[in-house]
Structure 1
Amino acid sequence: MTVGLVTPASNAWEDEDIRFAGDVVRSLGFEVKEGKHLYRRTQYLAGPDEARAEDMNYMFADPDVDAVFCLRGGYGTPRILPMLDYQLIRNNPKVLLGYSDITALLNAIYHRSGMVTFHGPIAAQNFTDYTLAEYQKVLVHGERPVPLGTPPPFEAAPGRVENRNRITRFAGGRAQGRLIGGNLSLMVSLVGTPFEPDYRGKILFLEDVGEAPYRVDRMLTQLWLAGKLQQVAGIVFGKFTEADSDGNTFSMEHVLRERTADLGVPVVRGLMIGHVKDQTVVPVGALAELDGDAGTLLLRDAVVS
């Protein structure tokens, strides 16, 4: 099998990092086909918008390419959304894998083509044992139902109390729905555009990095004011990492709980979704079941053939 390697947002700083990403993909057992513009850079973008979109369209058109992995996130994916050939993508469904800024691409393609996409590790990162196991159970083994993002065990340092990798249950109950979501900043950026997914009856999963609690509050409030949070069947919060603030703030837990308290749907926090080394794969568009009492997210659909 062959994986097409693309850079739809930003690029790695050095060419050797791109070659490393190719080696990561080969270590998973695939051949690598590099995008024509894979090594291009234009300031914070991986080349001009037209070039990045061309690589995406080409990989879906190429019958020798079985899957498309994104090298990294960064910024720039929303800029190419109007340039993608969604009919071409619909007619040539393939695994598309990435996260962070790739969120816009994953949700737009699902919305416009109906193709399930995959929020998960980028190519330019090491796969931990946990990440590899999650990748394999979603994209290789195919057993269903299967839990997504269950936190791995951890060892607290002597004399310290840690709450890493714990599940917080904000609201109980069960819900089934198709998955949408990813990076909160990118989901907010899609609101009001032709590429915004339909929130009705969906299970929404969200994560972010480098956003202080008040900024997360602002973005969740925007989704609430736009009526999006009121439409979902359930909410899964992943990791909100590097969320530094000046101390004069609500906690992240307070913000997430308060913004979802009156929705009447199950809400869970702490699954391994986001900018973390141990990372699950979440299929955007697949049917899942959220249990707010057990704190679990079960994938129901077979997502690869």
Structure 2
Amino acid sequence: MLRPKVLEKGDQIGVITPSSPAPVMFEERYQRGLSQLRKMGFHIIEGTCTNKSQSYRSASIKERAEEMNQFIYNDEVKAIISTIGGYNSNSLLPYLDYNHLKAHPKIVMGYSDVTALLLAIYEKTGLTTFYGPAIVPSFGEFPEMFPKGREYFENVVMLKKNAPYSLEIPIEWTEEFLDWNTQEREKQMVENTGWKTLRQGKAKGTLIGGNLNTMSGFFGSEYFPNLNGAILFLEDSFKNMADQERSYSMLKISGVFDQIEGLIIGKHEHLNDQHAPFSHDELLLEIIGDVNVPILINVDIGHTFPSHVFPIGIKASMDAGKREIRFLENGVVG
């Protein structure tokens, strides 16, 4: 495992827009995200696609890849953080300079559609990447970043906590949807009912995962990591039960559930159950079948807030019965 250096105050962060043109669509929220990072002590370099928009994407495939490569080549940049996700980060995968990043490792972080970049970098380089906050939805929250979200970020990439340690279950959470361009109040938090045991058991393995829907855009390619011996984490947003059956079944028929040691399912932001006569949890068990792996669900990772930062590639353990996830290694080096 290759790990990047710890992020420290005064470091430079490069901001990329590898898919959706969120800085143009939500300029005020984007600027608030940059201000949040500056208040935390970092210097910001905005990528070349920040102010570009081509409908559903920020810029051409080559332009978006070059934006990221410029930060990969810049030794002054210690972390690369995405503005948001979208649908098309997978388009960049053939054009990134993985060899240079392997020789000059740095933090790469984002979530949702950025899963494609995170998993491809891990597969091609062995470098730990970080499933964590993005500029617009996370750092740019109104009126400021959720305190727990900031704490989880600092714990992992700034080493405010040293492994091994168990992750806490947040007392409250939210998936409330408010228009980012008109939002004038804080999101309403609700009591967290906690993580739930879907199948008992303990596991230890390499922590790998991300957004399930995004995985379909590069699953089975040379950019998708081997999941043998992994603790797989999955999360999704605004999907329906039919989508979930298709995506879980993709993993089933590919043998993934026979390869992994454990399964972590994040809270699904606004799942559309389509009035199905069964629950999401029942659907998951139906698809997995007799494969005997521990399963922990309703975990705070991904699109709901606050969300933990998961370092892809570290050793981790889980005890589904005790509803416990432990990071056994740090994702960065001091």
TM-score, L = length of structure 2: 0.85
Question: Does the residue aligned with 1:209 lie in a helix, a strand or coil?
Answer: coil
Alpha carbons of structure 1 residues 163 and 262: separation in structure 2 relative to 1, 3 Å: farther
Q: Does the Cα contact within 8 Å between 1:214 and 1:249 map onto a contact in 2?
A: no
Q: Which moved more, 1:95-104 or 1:252-261?
A: 252-261
Supply the RMSD in Å over aligned alpha carbons. Answer: 1.7
Q: Please list every run of 5 or more consecutive structure 1 residues that lacks an aligned counterpart in the other structure.
A: 156-161
Tell me the residue number matched to 2:75. Answer: 63
Question: Does the residue aligned with 2:291 lie in a helix, a strand or coil?
Answer: coil
Stretches (4+) displaced over 6 A = none
Distance 2:37 2:47 in 1: 14
Q: Does the Cα contact within 8 Å between 2:196 and 2:296 map onto a contact in 1?
A: yes
Q: Quick check: 1:145 aligned with 2:157?
A: no
Distance 2:131 2:113 in 1: 10
Q: Quick check: 1:10 aligned with 2:20?
A: yes
Aligned pairs (5 A) from 1:130-209: 130-140=148-158, 141-148=160-167, 150-154=168-172, 164-209=192-237
Question: Does the residue aligned with 1:59 lie in a helix, a strand or coil?
Answer: helix
Q: Quick check: 1:114 aligned with 2:119?
A: no
Alpha carbons of structure 1 residues 175 and 244: separation in structure 2 relative to 1, 3 Å: same
Alpha carbons of structure 1 residues 277 and 284: separation in structure 2 relative to 1, 3 Å: same
Q: Does the Cα contact within 8 Å between 2:171 and 2:192 map onto a contact in 1?
A: no
Among all aligned residue pairs of Structure 1 and Structure 2, give the percentage whose two residues are the same amino acid. 31
Distance 1:154 1:37 in 2: 35
Question: Does the residue aligned with 1:44 lie in a helix, a strand or coil?
Answer: coil
Give CA deviations for 1:154-188 in whole Å, capped at 9, x if unaligned: 49xxxxxx984422112222211111111111123
Give CA deviations for 1:229-273 in whole Å, capped at 9, x if unaligned: 210011000111211233134211212233335221111002111
Aligned pairs (5 A) from 1:1-305: 1-12=11-22, 13-124=25-136, 125=138, 126=141, 127-140=145-158, 141-148=160-167, 150-154=168-172, 164-305=192-333
Q: Does the Cα contact within 8 Å between 1:57 and 1:88 map onto a contact in 2?
A: no
TM-score, L = length of structure 1: 0.93
Query: CA offset at residue 10 of structure 1?
Result: 0.9
Distance 1:179 1:246 in 2: 31
Amino acid in the other structure paired with 1:282: F
Aligned length: 298
Question: Does the residue aligned with 2:217 lie in a helix, a strand or coil?
Answer: helix
Question: Does the residue aligned with 1:240 lie in a helix, a strand or coil?
Answer: coil
Q: Please list every run of 5 or more consecutive structure 2 residues that lacks an aligned counterpart in the other structure.
A: 1-10, 174-189
Q: Which moved more, 1:10-19 or 1:34-43?
A: 10-19
Distance 2:232 2:41 in 1: 32
